[in-house]
Structure 1
């Protein structure tokens, strides 16, 4: 049994378009005390509720926000989400009691580590540790550089729900690539027997060196061509009198 409760899911088809659209509002709560609430339009998130800051956080482009805010605020979404949060916690408690507190289902996370942009030595970049398909939504992500813990330049996104009732989350590290540096991202989760660690180190080809090698090879081949031509010309020159006899 998963401890999340989807209190409200609204599916609305747009009547003014030949193409159907889906509007979904989800409110869920979990055993660890967290509550998630968000609105999706055709599987794209429009906003989520930040209960700590007591506000709606819009995730669509900024030029849409003002128009959306006017339409959404009239429905008192945040106030309703607060009431839903209280109801969700109560229903969760009752459900656990009725099910005689069964063990919570857990899904271990999968993680990958990659740079946000093409890597160049000395140029600022970001490493992204993408953690996916885990449940419950409670993980810990830590970073190291050359075996030493790193906290400066680290950020952690909120939890994002997947369609299979699992979650994904992003942790990023701002860094400047240096030759020989080794970075790691370690993920801890209750479904893992031990933390999982992903390691990354910059692998760069040196464009200037490659160009020099290319030019050097070209120059060498050119000189060999000139030498071969000269040799043939000289050889032919020495053979010419023999042919005239």
Structure 2
């Protein structure tokens, strides 16, 4: 797997909930006696102010909880936050996963556009991503549709953007991808590498040229017949 893993900052706001009038008994919680951190609806880690320690619920978070519990300074800080704060910002670093991107053509039948290009981004994280079609470097606004980000049910996502177009010689079509895992946008050019795809463009170009010649011939014939 050649995917690049980076990190982005995830800030989770935990709300303090007082469970009794005696502040020594206070615990900050959502619905249990602990401050719980969920990620994608999965309980990852919590600080239990009664036990005064962190508890992890995944392999990685167990390791983090053990490290946090070994730090007296961290535990003292967390305890003070529970006693004196109504809100706590808790900071963790989670990995970002760079998407795998490919462009594939689909032939359309019975449509004014001969081709449909699909720009697909697979196995990326986090969910937020933006796909933009460019024609000769300019953003394409019309004839573009996109799916929502689709979950792979393994914390990774996929998305697809569709561009309807008529083949034109010398035209450059590009899918621009923007994502948290990328320091800058990435550009993926569509290249009709197969003979079949080149033939489709050649046929489309020939049809357009033939139609243009018929139009010119008809126009000249009309002018000659005109008085």
Tell me which interval the TM-score lies in, with the shorter structure as reference length.
0.3 to 0.5
Q: TM-score, normalised by structure 1?
A: 0.42
Q: Which has the larger radius of gyration?
A: 1
Q: TM-score, normalised by structure 2?
A: 0.45
